[in-house]
Structure 1
Amino acid sequence: MKIVRRESLHLRATDERLFAAPMTPERLQSMDSDHAKAEQLDAFVARFARLQDTVGDKFVPTLLQALQEPIGVVIDNLDRAERLGWIVSADAWIEARRLRNQMIHEYVDDLHVLASNLQAGHRYVPVLLETAQRLIDEAGRRGWA
């Protein structure tokens, strides 16, 4: 929980700074000469991916195990988490995972595609943060905090 809290704070802060203005292909192009913004972009992608990995691949299975639920492959764990009300949609989580994978591959030459993926990631941040908080709250209610 401590790690998820810290990762959530860092993602929120980076998201707020980086997306103070919309991400456009032109803005991405300008980051070639703006090292501070380029580092913010890298931080956003890394923090988005890290929080999603920590929540989906570690925190959800840990909570399921604590409830003596069977632990399976990621999609099965997400389906159980959805049924328990911990995540809104397993399908949306998988879609965000696909998006995360696209954002990580910075070699995308089409700046329109990259800007679109980054904007989609930005729109998903509130869902990711709310899910992380919901899991933290669940653990707290059960006295696992």
Structure 2
Amino acid sequence: MNVPDNLERLRFLVKIVRRESLHLRATDARLFALPLTPERLQAMDSDPAQAEQLDAFVARFARLQDTVGDKFVPTLLQALQEPVGAVIDNLDRAERLGWIVSADGWIEARRLRNQMIHEYVDDLQVLASNLQAGHRYVHVLLKTAQRLIDETARRGWA
């Protein structure tokens, strides 16, 4: 078995992605247990616990997407002695390897992530729509993370 030079980094990322996935899944389930409407978002101004759940969802979504796309994918590519380049090139390669469903979809989710982070959006309908779209994308993000973990484990590196 060929042991990659970045084995410790890979193992660290597996551990982090497992934890981030667990936290995002839990936060997503709590926040979206009830419909996330503009009215509910407005009520969060006077409900710190709900506002914190919203903040946690956005932060955890962004963190997992960053960790998977910007760190795990290139680290695994490097371990496989694949070329590592710009983010879009790495995502295209990850798509060809079957780790992500669509590089374009990943970029679209990245745009959505950036919109969710900017909570100063005055139009609560737009914010609610962005958050609902993020919620719908969570399963794709979690499956992608698991595929990368599985690939690492399959090679005996996890």
TM-score, normalised on structure 2?
A: 0.91
Partner of 1:28: 41
Note the 1:1-145 alignment, pairs <5 A. Answer: 1-145=14-158
Partner-residue secondary structure (3-state), 2:33: coil
CA-CA distance at 1:91 after TM superposition:
0.5
Q: 1:88-113, CA deviations, whole angstroms, 9 ceiling, x for partnerless residues?
A: 00000000000000000011000000
**Alpha-carbon distance in 1 for matches of 2:49, 2:64:** 22
Which one has the largest radius of gyration?
2
Gaps spanning 5+ residues in structure 1: where? none
CA RMSD of aligned residues (A): 0.4
Once residues 40 and 63 of structure 1 are traced to their aligned partners in structure 2, the CA distance between those partners, rounded to angstroms, is 32
Query: How many residue pairs are counted as aligned between the two chains?
Result: 145
Identity %: 90
- TM-score computed with the length of structure 1 as normaliser: 0.99
In the TM superposition, what is the alpha-carbon distance from 1:22 to its structure 2 partner? 1.3
